[in-house]
Amino acid sequence: MFERSFDQVVFATPPDQVLQLLSDPRPEEVRRFQAWRPNYATTILHCDRQFYEPYGIQKGSEFDFFQTNGGWGYNACLNQLCGITSNQAYSLAFNLNTTIDPAKIIHVQQHHTPFYTVASFQHRDEVIATNGANNTYHVGAYLGDGLHEGAVTSAIEVAQAIGYANAEKPLPSVPSRAGLSLH
Ligand SMILES: Cc1cc2nc3c(=O)[nH]c(=O)nc-3n(C[C@H](O)[C@H](O)[C@H](O)COP(=O)(O)OP(=O)(O)OC[C@H]3O[C@@H](n4cnc5c(N)ncnc54)[C@H](O)[C@@H]3O)c2cc1C
């Protein structure tokens, strides 16, 4: 069996994975993480633009929402969003599985995200307040706004906490959560 020792551990996984990875979770860790469950979302990378035609749309925007027989979905134009200069139109679609021509699908990606419920979310502030206890840290979007900014700001805060704890000389200041702007 492979064994290594670490001074500190940072969990940057979806929160439902924390207890699966800890061999000896403390009762308070069980309480904070036991209600989290996984949520799976599937996106499709494709080059189909013809499904816009029945909607009477000649040119899509960066982000278009569609009402479908199954509910709703969105299509993101990657050429516009990511500055792709190719003449080929590339898109990322969510919940448009039956709308997109299978022959135009490049890749299907499953995403593992947190399943937010009142029960799972109620210990969020406690996880933040006790971050670093027992040399164990947690980062992730679920500790912030659930989006990119939440993931980045929580990671900065943990990096800052670990950096300060181990710094031999003062570190430069890092923008606070409220003051951080992302581009
Ligand atoms: C389809 C989709 C569209 C989105 N669009 C936007 C958007 O437009 N704007 C926006 O701000 N946010 C958006 N988000 C949300 C944003 O992407 C996420 O909130 C953010 O990326 C989450 O970052 P994270 O670091 O918390 O988790 P993740 O980026 O999910 O990182 C978790 C990591 O843990 C790893 N992992 C999982 N299990 C284990 C394990 N057992 N052991 C070790 N590692 C493990 C995973 O491989 C992954 O690398 C979108 C999310 C999805 C799914």
Same domain, 130 and 160: yes
The answer as to whether 179 is a domain residue is no
Domain count, the chain: 2
Q: What's the 107 CA to ligand 1 centre distance in angstroms?
A: 18
Same domain, 105 and 56: yes
- For ligand 1, which residues put their CB under 6 angstroms from it? 12-14, 17, 21, 41, 43, 94, 111-113, 140-141, 146-148, 151
Please tell me the pTM assigned to this model.
0.86
Same domain, 121 and 146: yes
The answer as to whether 20 is a domain residue is yes
What 8-state DSSP symbol labels residue 143? G
- CA 45 vs CA 53, 60, 100, 102: distances in Å: 19, 16, 10, 11
Q: Residue 182 and residue 28: Cα distance in Å, rounded?
A: 34
pLDDT digits (tens, 9 = 90+) for 84-143: 999 999 999 999 999 999 999 999 999 999 999 999 999 999 999 999 999 999 999 999
The answer as to whether 176 is a domain residue is no
What is the domain extent for residue 51? 40-112
